[in-house]
Amino acid sequence: MKTSAHQIAERYVRALFEVATDDAARAQVEKDLAVLGAFFSDKALAKVILNPLLTRAQQAKAMTAVLDKIKAHKTTAQFVTLLAARKRLGILPEISDIFSELAATSRGELKAKIISTTALAAKDIASLSTRLSKAYGKKVMLETHQDAGLLGGLIIKIGSVQLDASLAGKLQKLEIRLKAA
């Protein structure tokens, strides 16, 4: 179930996506939002900007300084100013993630996450990307993570689909079968 903050972020992203009409503008806005999303992921920095004692004008001024520093696109600057005026700066990380997903979809890309026990070689990542691209008919962008708790194998997450070929997953399935017997 989506939270109300996520639903609000989705509405803002749809509006922003319509305003950033050409591919170059969308790419720049996506880059700007990724930087701002990372900025707000740092709790200490976000705490300063999101301080409830700051007025909307003070928050907008602080964000304008940040936007000038990163040389943000005009559309991004106007959008963030709007968020500051509406006291919605706290949902910037969610907005960044949703915009990135929407932009990737519009480019015909699909994001996938691979979780393995150890770091995968570049050729293995390229091979997996190629195979998944053929299977889904879209360019697949892979994000790799490591989790030693898998014991071996890997897990691939694409959207709501999860392919679990890990040893830990197989042991878990075996445990469920043994309990059911």
Secondary structure string (H, E, C) spanning 93-146: HHHHHHHHHHHHHHCCEEEEEEEECCCCCHHHHHHHHHHHHHHHCCEEEEEEEE
All domains of the chain, ordered by start, with CATH? 4-105 (1.10.520.20), 108-180 (no CATH)
Per-residue pLDDT for 29 more than 60? Answer: yes
| pLDDT given for residue 1 in this prediction | 52
| pLDDT given for residue 2 in this prediction | 66
Mean of pLDDT over the chain: 84
| pLDDT given for residue 88 in this prediction | 85
Per-residue pLDDT for 95 more than 80? Answer: yes
